[in-house]
Amino acid sequence: MLDTPDERRFDTITALLKEMFQVPMALVSLIDGERLFFKSVAGTDCRQGNRLHSFCDASLRAPNPTMMIVPDTLEDARFVDSQFVKGAPHVRFYAGAPLVSSDGHVMGSLGVLDIKPRAFPAGALNIICNFAELVVREMERDKALERKQQLKTVTALEVRRHTVRALSCFQEAVMLCNTAEAGWPMLYCNDQWCSTTSVSEAACLNSGFWDLFRSAMGEQGRQLAGQGVAINKPFTTVVEGGACAFLTLELRPATSDYLSQAVPHIAIPNFVEGLEPADLAGVSGFYFAVIKRSVRSASEGPTPPGSVDHSAKRPGVESVTSNSGSALAAQLRPASLGSSGGSSGGLSQPFGLELPEDLADLKIGPLLGRGSFGRVHRGTWRAATVAVKIMESWVDPSAEAVEGPLLEALLSKNLTHPNIVQTYDYAVQLLEPDSASNSTSSIGDDWDDTLQPADRGSKRQQQVWLIQQYCNHGTLGDAVDRGWLLNRRDRASGPNMLAVLHTAMEIAAAMQYLHQNNVLHGDLTCGNVLLVGVRHDSPHDKRSFSAKIGDFGLSRVAASEQVKTATCGTLSYMPPELVQDQLLTKAADAYSFGVLCWEMVSAQRAWAGRSSVQIMYARSQGERLDAPQACPSPGFKALIGRCLQDDHSQRPSFDVICEVLGGLLDEEIAAASQTTTSS
């Protein structure tokens, strides 16, 4: 779609987002080898630019689809040299959702921009993510039918390997309305909505929903729908109107994590806050409606008014079509997340999640991250903001050995250190077959969730839920990328050694504690070092954060000096003995720590821009990470070199590392004090 003319189907979305978010610019960006092409723009005449230093290019570097949020471009080292920051339109704020193709590649982004620093709550940013999904559907719609015919000749498992989006998504009729205003004005509808209802786009966008459609239950149905909106819940309802005798609609808050079940899930960084109803005051009334069933005439057998259409049932979606006069709250299923009375605070149940009974007071919010381990959501628990980690695995209920996600839960619950992410509680549940199918991400024409391990035998699917401390300042990787460890937000300014050493000391102290308790982390990466906002008392520590180690999914309790493991972590942080011989030792963690220190001093990611295959090849040819030449501290440079030794017996223990770092910190503080006194 590069270099193609303007199209109404995309321009409608960018114009709407510009209005909804009250920003001067919104655009659809597509990325090429060296340049950006803006397929749709609202509020600017710019149509292309350089890929280097672009927001869209930076979003490609995330291991999983994640929003790119830049509250202030002048405080982010990645973008201070961007042509769009240094020159017109002088962008100061950017929020963009990746455009994820059906084969899993990021094609570009849908973003909103401002010329002043801004901040939006996580729920509001989900609206951009949902519209990014609609943009991709428009881009790929013409090829969807062809793909559907091709995939009829392959098995469901082969389909799953080649697509991340259900083909049925492309036929979904979608509409957005504002339920906070009288009549529910319609703000957006796709072509499928217009063709299904036989109502033109112009007629829809100039009318309220209740002007064109009426509840199959009359006024009672409209009141029940209003009650569903009032508590910010997804629900289904049956209406009449247009060319249809009956329409079964699924309505979901636009602030929800996903527009549909079988689509890529986009995470929102943990430094974005705002979970309470007051934070979503401006956007909580926006609802997406998806047509799940349409009946042209009563003779086709419509859903009788007042009954539940089970064919439209989805996890987390409640029916509001009951004939009874009971209030909607009484109809909500007991297992619904966030339904413990009153407003849900904008936290609606994600697809495929049933709350464990032991965590009845937990409310789930937007997605924080997703990986092979499972997913992490924001949440509220006992009036506090928390991170909710949900891991799934197939287990033998009769097995005595504790491993996998359950081992992580037990380990993290019993680890107490100021620089380790605290686990407050956990719960374990075995899913029933129906629930298990809802929780997995299998793919077919409608993603009927039939894929399960062929050799599972007596195994059951297990969910482990961890309620953990919420770290609100991103990760160490964010700090490296954004220049938080530099003297200025300019990579040429060099590392701020006091900030680097303080951060390294916090990480090392946590690792020293783990090793003293014979716990091997096994996956110490910049993404697993989380940052918490804090104001330090020391005049020599001007950081706005403190570092904490998390994610013990690959950790082991070491009964001996080394552990043979078939599971591995992140290649760019793995030492030779772990890559070649699958040997996990305390020295392996020291190597990973050396890589972290290398990144903090260099202000860049190790092996940046290279795939796992490229890294493996480079290392097989003798290429290795060496202590960075630009490191202004000879002692720290020497420590990095020792940690990165190929011979694991030559690497220092964390007892030694902490001792060395303590001495280096004392030297830096003394030098800083002397400079302050002399000036």
| pLDDT per residue as tens digits for the range 368-398 | 887 767 889 999 999 899 999 998 888 777 6
Find out if CATH 1.20.1250.20 is the number for domain 475-678. no
What would the two tokens of residue 557 be? 């309790």
Q: What is the pLDDT of residue 412?
A: 83
Poorest-pLDDT segment among 36-50, 168-182, 410-424, 578-592: 36-50
**Is residue 505 over pLDDT 90?**
yes
- Nearest of 361, 320, 370 to residue 337 by alpha carbon: 361
Looking at the predicted structure, is the pLDDT value of residue 404 above 90? Answer: no
Q: Is residue 405's pLDDT more than 80?
A: no
**Listed residue (409, 324, 286, 305) closest to 359, CA to CA:** 409
**Which band of pLDDT confidence, cut at 50, 70 and 90, is reported for residue 433?**
low
The percentage of residues in the chain with a pLDDT greater than 90, rounded to a whole number, is: 45
Find the mean pLDDT for residues 177-192. 95
State the fold for domain 352-470: Phosphorylase Kinase; domain 1 (3.30.200)
Q: Which residue has the tokens 């114009």?
A: 15
Known binding residues for ATP are: 389
Same fold, 352-470 and 475-678: no
Provide the token pair at 321.
């079509």
Superfamily of domain 172-323: PAS domain (3.30.450.20)
- Average pLDDT across the chain, whole number: 81
Tell me: pLDDT of 266 over 50.
yes
What do you get for the CA distance between the two ends of the chain, in Å? Answer: 59
262 pLDDT exceeds 50? yes
The span from the CA of 42 to the CA of 28, in Å, is 9
Provide the pLDDT for residue 448.
Answer: 39
| Domain extent listing, the chain | 8-120+132-140, 172-323, 352-470, 475-678
Q: What is the pLDDT of residue 450?
A: 40
164: left (phi over 0), alpha (psi -120 to 50) or beta: alpha
On the question of pLDDT at 679 being above 70, the answer is no
Mean pLDDT across the stretch 71-96?
Answer: 91
Q: What is the crossing angle of helices 634-643 and 497-516, to 10°?
A: 40
DSSP string, 202-237: HHHHTSBHHHHEEETTTHHHHHHHHHHHHTT--EEE
Supply the pLDDT for residue 175: 97
507: amino acid identity, one letter = I
Count of Cβ atoms closer than 10 Å to residue 328 Cβ: 21
Closest CA to 545 of 467, 482, 471: 471
**Closest Cα to residue 418, out of 368, 358, 469, 375?**
469
Sequence-separated (6 or more) residues with CB below 8 Å from residue 551: 373, 523, 527, 528
CA–CA dist 245, 207 (Å, integer)? 20
Q: Residue 635 pLDDT more than 60?
A: yes
pLDDT at residue 233 in the model: 83
Report the pLDDT value the prediction gives residue 445, as an integer from 0 to 100.
Answer: 40
Q: Which pairs from 367-372 meet CB under 8 Å and 24+ separation? A: 367/257, 367/265, 367/266, 367/267, 367/268, 368/267, 368/268, 368/269, 368/270, 369/64, 369/66, 369/267, 369/270, 370/64, 370/65, 370/265, 370/267, 371/63, 371/64
pLDDT in tens, 7-25: 999 999 999 999 999 999 9
157, 227, 377, 380 from 367: Cα distances, Å: 26, 26, 4, 13
Cα separation, 533 vs 237, in Å, equals 44
Check pLDDT > 80 for residue 67.
yes
According to the model, what pLDDT value does residue 606 have? 92
Annotated binding site: 389
- Residue 621 pLDDT exceeds 60: yes
**What is the mean predicted confidence (pLDDT) over 555-565?**
67
Q: Give the pLDDT score at 353.
A: 67
Reported as type and span, the H/E element at residue 294 is strand 286-295
- Look at the block and give the residue holding tokens 């292309």: 48
Distance CA 550, CA 412 (A): 8
Residue of 380 and 400 predicted with greater confidence: 380
- Chain Cα centroid distance, residue 315: 20
pLDDT value at residue 538: 84
* Most confident residue range from 48-62, 90-104, 494-508: 494-508
Query: Any idea which of 84-98, 248-262, 334-348, 594-608 has the lowest mean pLDDT?
Result: 334-348
Name the band, by pLDDT with cuts 50, 70 and 90, for residue 350: very low
**Any long-range contacts for 221-226 (C-beta under 8 Å, 24+ apart)?**
221/305, 221/320, 221/321, 224/320, 224/321, 224/322, 224/328, 225/251, 225/320, 226/179
What residues are paired with 251 via a beta bridge?
A: 235, 289
Tell me what pLDDT residue 72 has: 94
Superfamily of domain 8-120+132-140: GAF domain (3.30.450.40)
